[in-house]
Structure formats: C-alpha cells, structure tokens
C-alpha cells in the first residue's frame, strides 16, 4: 500500500472484523503511516473496539492525508475516545468523522469536546446513536462556543434532555459556523423547544435543523413557529413524529409560513396513525391548503394529510395554484410528498421567450445587415 506501488485514495473495509480477519488493525495502521494517497477510510462495523482505536489513533497523529474517516458501529467506548481525542488535537487533515452507533458515554464526549476546542480542520461530525447524555452535551456545547470550523453535526439519539438542550442553545447563540444540526430522537420536550427557539431567533447561520421525534407537543411547535417568523436563514426543517394532539401547533406554524419566505423543505410527517388522535384531519388539511396559497418559497412538503381526492390535490391543479409540481409521490396511509416549484418561474421563462429571445434574434439580424452593407 505504499505510494510507490499504489495510488489508492479510498479504503473500505466495511464489516472487516479485524479480530477474525486476516488483516489486523495494526497492519492497516502501519501501512497508513507510509501511504500518502489514501484520503478516505471506511471501517464501519469492523469491531476494532478501544484497543483498535488506540492503534489507529497513533497513526492519525502522523498521517495528514486522510480527510474522511468512518468509525461507525465499532464498539468504541470512552477509553477509545480518549485515544482518538489526543490524535485529533494534532491532526490537521481530517474534515469528516463518523462515530455513530458506538458506545461513547459522557466521559468520551468530554474528551472529544476538548479536542474540538483546538482542532481547526473537522467540518462534519456524526455522533448520533451514542449515550453522551446531558453531561456530555454540556461539554460539547462549550466546545461549539469556541470552535468555528464545524458546519454539520448530528446528535440524534444521544440521550440528552433539558439541561443538554439548554447548553446547546446557549452555544448556538454564539456559534457562527454550523449550517446543519440534527437533534432527532431526544427528550427535548416543550421547555427545551423554547430554549432552542430562543437561540434560533438570534442565530442567522443555521440553514437546516432536524427535531423529529423529540417529544414536544403543540406548545413546542408554537415556540419553533415564533422563531421562524424572525429567522430568515433556515431553509429546511424536519418536525415529524411529535406529540401534536390539537391543531394549535399547526396553526401557529401555518401563520409563521405565511410570513417566512425562506423555508423550502418542510417535514410534517407526524405519528404513524392519526386516526386515534384528537386532531381533526380535515381541519389540518384546510390549514395546509391555506398556507400553500400564501407561501411562495416551499418546494417540498411531507405530510400524512391528503390523498388523491383531497383539497391539497385540488389545490395542486395548475389552474388553482401558483406552483408547478416537480414531483408528487402519494404514499400509503395518506402520506404524501409534494415537491413544488413557485409558478413565477414559469412567468419568468415566458417573459424570457417573449421578450429577450426575440431581441437577440433582432440584434443578430441587424448585425448581418450591417456586415452585408460593409461588403457592398
């Protein structure tokens, strides 16, 4: 694998299982110390564990070629994270690191956070499906107040609750680099959504946020809706799978979307079955229809409301709406995905053909006549 023999750029040993395979993590690490071309390393589900992480971490201290490393589902715990953290304090090449589906706890998150305070190369972090809890989130939040290179971070299903989201929200009021943040499947609840919403009223850099299945209800949706009335940077938001038992939350969101002209993609897929809830499905459909009539920015909408005979379907007819359908995907149980394009795009194209293109041909014809006269 030396550079003189091979010019590899990517190594993928998914499901490698170094304990039972012919290649050991030590052999791989030794080769990576000598290789100057490999930029991507995928060790997903290779069961390297803490011991293997220690060996690999030593390599990362001297290898400055790797930019993308996938260590997901490798049984890496807090001890392994300590070794990795030390290497990330000196490594200046890694830009993306995937640590999902490991056994990282609060202590592992703490040492990782200390590394992020000094690391200036990492831009993308996938940390979801670990149990860092509030204690770990508080440490990461402190790091995000200092770090100015991370642009994307996934923290879904990491076990943090109110104290964790409070700390993270405080960090987001200061951080100016994060564009995407994934917080799905955490117990944020209504109070936590208020903290997050207060941060989003100040932060003007986040463009995409995922708060699916975060156990908030109508009050939480009201809070995020209030933030969307003043936040003009978010273009994509995922809100599905939460405890909406009345139409109050969706009404608040609809009011916000009538004002906000920047949201392009919105996920409103709630719970698997709406029939047992107190939500009036027809009422919600009316709210969404009314919103689409006022909003000019939404390009895709995912919801369980609507079917081929619904008012939304009626609204989507070209003669009734200001949008042109790019893609329409009716799914089971009234789950539809609508991709829309503002109809003013058609108007612009029409003007282009009716005015600008004829002008081009006229100018070209005048130029031809002028050239003929010069020849004569």
Reported as a single tens digit per residue, the pLDDT across 190-232 is: 999 999 999 999 999 999 999 999 989 899 999 999 999 999 9
pLDDT of 56 higher than 60 = yes
What is the structure's pLDDT at 294?
80
Question: What integer is the mean pLDDT of 329-333?
Answer: 43
**Domain boundaries along the sequence of the chain:** 1-187
Using one digit for the tens of pLDDT, what is the confidence trace for 349-369?
555 555 655 666 676 677 777
pLDDT at 293: 76
Tally of CA atoms within 13 A in the half-sphere of 12 that contains its CB: 2
At residue 34, the pLDDT reads: 86
Scanning the chain, the segments in alpha helix (DSSP H) are 25-34, 49-60, 78-90, 106-118, 133-146, 162-172, 189-200, 218-228, 248-259, 281-294, 311-315, 344-351, 357-375
- Nearest alpha-carbon partner for 235 in 208, 205, 200, 199: 208
State residue 273's pLDDT score: 41
User: If you average pLDDT over residues 262-276, what whole number do you get?
Assistant: 66
Q: What is the rounded average pLDDT for all residues in the chain? A: 82
Mean pLDDT, residues 168-174 taken together: 98
pLDDT digits (tens, 9 = 90+) for 86-99: 999 999 999 999 99
- Closest C-alpha among 52, 57, 30 to residue 112: 57
pTM: 0.81
pLDDT at site 315: 57
Shortest CA distance to 160 belongs to which of 195, 125, 203, 205?
195
* Location of structure tokens 């969404």: 288
CATH among 1.20.1250.20, 3.20.19.10, 3.80.10.10, 3.40.640.10 for 1-187: 3.80.10.10
pLDDT, tens only, 112-168: 999 999 999 999 999 999 999 999 999 999 999 999 999 999 999 999 999 999 999
Q: Tell me the mean pLDDT in the region 37-44.
A: 93
Q: How far is CA 259 from the centre of its chain?
A: 23
Least confident of 36-40, 66-70, 243-247, 258-262: 243-247
Identify the band that residue 238 occupies on the pLDDT scale cut at 50, 70 and 90: very high
Q: Could you give the percent of the chain with pLDDT greater than 70?
A: 74
104: pLDDT strictly greater than 90? yes
> Which residues neighbour 31 within 8 Å (Cβ) at sequence distance 6 or greater?
1, 2
Give pLDDT tens digits for 69-83: 999 999 999 999 999
Residue 333 scores a pLDDT above 50: no
Cβ burial of 326 (10 Å; 0-12, 13-18, 19+) is: exposed
pLDDT score of 20:
47
Question: What was the pLDDT predicted at 181?
Answer: 98
**Mean pLDDT for the stretch of residues 169-198:** 97
DSSP H/E element including 267: strand 265-267
Cα 371 to chain centroid, rounded: 57
User: Token match 């390009």: residue?
Assistant: 299
């Amino acid at each position: 694998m030396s550079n003189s023999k091979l010019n590899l750029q990517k190594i993928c040993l998914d499901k490698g299982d170094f304990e039972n395979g012919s290649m050991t993590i030590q052999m791989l690490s030794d080769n990576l110390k000598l290789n100057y071309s490999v930029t991507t390393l995928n060790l997903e589900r290779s069961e390297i564990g803490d011991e293997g992480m220690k060996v690999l971490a030593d390599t990362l201290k001297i290898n400055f070629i790797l930019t993308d490393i996938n260590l997901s589902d490798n049984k890496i715990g807090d001890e392994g994270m300590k070794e990795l953290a030390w290497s990330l304090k000196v490594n200046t090449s890694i830009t993306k690191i995937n640590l999902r589906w490991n056994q990282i706890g609060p202590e592992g998150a703490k040492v990782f956070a200390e590394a992020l305070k000094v690391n200036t190369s990492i831009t993308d972090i996938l940390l979801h499906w670990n149990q860092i809890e509030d204690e770990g989130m508080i440490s990461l939040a402190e790091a995000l107040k200092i770090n100015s290179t991370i642009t994307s971070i996934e923290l879904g299903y990491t076990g943090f609750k109110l104290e964790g989201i409070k700390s993270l929200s405080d960090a987001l009021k200061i951080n100016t680099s994060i564009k995407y943040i994934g917080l799905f499947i955490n117990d944020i609840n209504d109070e936590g959504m208020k903290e997050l919403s207060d941060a989003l009223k100040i932060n003007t850099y986040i463009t995409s946020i995922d708060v699916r299945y975060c156990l908030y209800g109508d009050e939480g949706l009201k809070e995020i809706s209030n933030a969307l009335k003043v936040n003009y940077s978010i273009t994509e938001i995922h809100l599905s799978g939460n405890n909406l038992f009345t139409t109050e939350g969706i009404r608040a969101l609809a009011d916000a979307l009538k004002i906000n002209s920047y949201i392009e993609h919105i996920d409103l897929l709630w719970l698997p079955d709406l029939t047992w809830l107190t939500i009036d499905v027809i009422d919600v459909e009316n709210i969404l229809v009314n919103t689409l009539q006022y909003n000019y920015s939404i390009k895709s909408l995912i919801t369980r409301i609507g079917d081929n005979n619904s008012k939304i379907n009626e609204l989507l007819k070209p003669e009734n709406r200001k949008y042109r359908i790019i893609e329409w995907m009716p799914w089971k149980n009234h789950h539809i995905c609508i991709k829309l394009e503002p109809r003013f795009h058609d108007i612009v194209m029409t003007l282009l053909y009716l005015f600008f293109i004829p002008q081009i041909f006229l100018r070209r014809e005048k130029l031809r006549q002028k050239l003929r006269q010069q020849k004569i």
